[in-house]
Structure 1
């Protein structure tokens, strides 16, 4: 463990207020409005360009996830993040999520620490369990070990992050005996901020609190108040486990799409979400549930800039989160639309969010 039994934590600037980021899962889907799909090569290049545009707009974080199935291109998401590291200078970069259950923690740390060195200390890891489980068979793991694999490998990843020399034994890989794990990040802790991704499980939120690690929670839809329960449980568990809950950051993420006209935002974005989920999840997104996102209390951050600001401020007050990350490219959204969204974020959304959440 690091000093005072604390894990490596991400750093935030209170004077900037709520951090705002964008993320991609690297989906490679046709645009439902045109029926056309760009090449995988172009999609990957556009992801790097999206990170550059985000940095230019003053966005704080850029996040890339992995998904090992049809209609995705970022199976090697850490390679993509290495490209982002070289193409940018200031924006924080993070995985979102690295499926640690089917990855070797030693290799994940080596790759992520290398990206951190290339990016001058901008790298973070979000470790998750996988909502799409086809990768278990693809990568040679038994889905019956879903929970045990994650807990064991997450524990090992934390131990490697906090100790340059590691002795460790578990069930799913050979023991490490006085293993010297390199390279190390060039910071005082010689480690990386590592978040635990939490889905719909209260148990997972509780485990994150018990460990005292940062928590990342993604939302698909519904009232924001529903998701508060997991965040509250995380913090109360952390406090009762001897951690300083007020120093443990929470990040949230979900669908994001901005347009100058609120109704046009919902009309234009819904086909991307619905058709995209049909292809990647097997079923679409209920239209009525999506339309309910027009309520400022919904976690679907779609609408005009004014509504989105209202939503994000409401969620920030409810969750006390330090970071929000929006997914604005899902379902074949064109690069022109992505650019327009990033411009709206930089010019009309970020200034308002920062004005109302910054601390002097």
Structure 2
């Protein structure tokens, strides 16, 4: 894999878990905690903080742009992003307006990660038919990119009312508000991102990160065939992790938290019970779980960056039964200990 020459961006992603019945906190408290996390991530020099849109009672992240805007004036450098925006069930006009507003509030630090979403609650909630799953995404991505590129647009699709010479305001401060294609591993999504010349982010929460190398290759090939400059491509991944001062503390503390969360989702999706052996495999140097002391986590991030040619790595640390003090400690260690090691190693 080609070496990343851009320098690596490092950041945090969250879905803002609540689940007070399982030891979590109420939505109001979790939202206040999110602002504290964003401020800390900015202070310790992390590059990105992203909030994933969800419409469930165990998350309080249905409006990422609103939450990010609440932190806008209290941060100086960190980029603020959705992670992801469920574009298929959203109105691209409103998505652009929300993030253009955030972009102006932050002096050009807003981003959108556009995806289908790993849950489908938003489709019936907003009146969309799951039978149109693919077409909704393709059509709305097309509209969002057209809105991004021109102040006034004329557009016609099959699943949304047409627009005729309509202006969309406010305009983002960034000339091209960043739009990332988010995917869990779909070859079609990787190819689409490459054809459009858009940055791509892979959700790698199981198996070995190196297995995503063929998808990266598809992305790069599609971009090259479409005439895009390969040096301009941006590639990211989002993976679970937790950092403590010692490897033993991190791995022992995180297992019951990971087990609880994976079994909760597994019951809904028919997955087998999450086991200690599954956890140990993911903890291994080639696994997709970034848990341990700063040196070990940094080593794994460097490996993933080199294997996949990443320009950005995002660590997901938020589960409802994780004490907030531990989440804040992970952010602190990520910025002050892990990031310097990663950047030094990649600069060699």
**Category of TM-score, reference length = shorter chain:** over 0.9
User: Which whole-Å CA distance do the structure 2 matches of 1:83 and 1:340 have between them?
Assistant: 22
Deviation string for 1:116-169 (max 9, x for gaps)? Answer: 001111001000101111221121111111111001001110110011111100
What are the Cα deviations for residues 50-99 of structure 1, in whole angstroms up to 9, with x where unaligned?
A: 00011111111111111111201011111111112122121111111001
Q: Which among 176, 182, 193 is matched to residue 169 of structure 2?
A: 182
Structure 1 residues 190-230: Cα deviation after superposition (integer angstroms, max 9, x where no partner): x3011111112111111111111110111112112111111
What secondary structure sits across from 1:87 in the alignment?
Answer: coil
TM-score, L = length of structure 2: 0.93
- Preserved CA contact (<8 Å) 2:223 2:230: yes
In structure 1, what is the Cα distance between the partners aligned to 2:333 and 2:67?
A: 25
What is the correspondence of 1:3-152 to structure 2 with a 5 Å cutoff?
14=6, 17-30=7-20, 35-152=22-139
Higher deviation after alignment, 209-218 or 97-106: 209-218
Alignment correspondent of 1:172: 159
CA contact (8 A) 1:222 1:300 kept: no
Q: Structure 1 length normalisation: TM-score? A: 0.90
Which residue does 1:7 correspond to in 2?
none
Between the aligned partners of 1:314 and 1:66, the Cα distance in structure 2 is: 29
Distance of aligned partners of 1:358 and 1:164 in 2 relative to their CA distance in 1, 3 Å threshold: farther
Correspondent of 1:253 among 238, 241, 247: 238
Q: Is the 8 A contact 2:25 2:320 kept in 1?
A: no
* Alignment match, 1:214: 199
| Aligned match of 1:341 | 330
Distance 2:64 2:307 in 1: 32
For the Cα contact (< 8 Å) 1:24–1:65, is it kept in 2?
yes
Note if contact 2:295-2:341 (Cα within 8 Å) is conserved in structure 1: no
The separation in 2 between residues aligned to 1:286 and 1:179, in whole angstroms, is: 54
Q: Do the aligned residues in 1 keep the contact of 2:136 with 2:159 (CA within 8 Å)?
A: yes
Aligned residues: 341
Contact residue 24 and residue 320 of structure 2 kept, 8 A: no
Contact 2:197 2:228 in 1 (8 A): yes
> Whole-Å Cα distance in 1 between the matches of residues 41 and 147 of structure 2?
31
SS in 2 for 1:256: strand
SS at match of 1:331: coil
Unaligned runs of 5+ in 1: 1-11
**Match of residue 289, structure 1, among 249, 254, 278:** 278
Cα contact 1:66–1:98 (8 A) shared by 2: yes
Provide closer, same or farther for how the CA distance between residues 157 and 263 of structure 1 changes in structure 2, counting only shifts above 3 A.
Answer: same
Following superposition, the deviation at residue 270 of structure 1 comes to 1.9
RMSD value over aligned CA atoms? Answer: 1.8
CA distance in 2, matches of 1:222, 1:263: 22
Q: How far apart, in 2, do the equivalents of 1:63 and 1:13 lie?
A: 24
- Secondary structure (helix, strand or coil) at the match of 2:287 reads coil
Deviation of 1:30 after TM superposition, in Å, equals 4.8
1:322 aligns with 2:319: no
Q: Between 53-62 and 272-281, report the one with greater CA deviation.
A: 272-281
Q: In the TM superposition, what are the counterparts of 1:261-300 in structure 2 within 5 Å?
A: 261-281=246-266, 282=268, 283=271, 285-300=274-289
Distance 1:156 1:348, change over 3 A: same
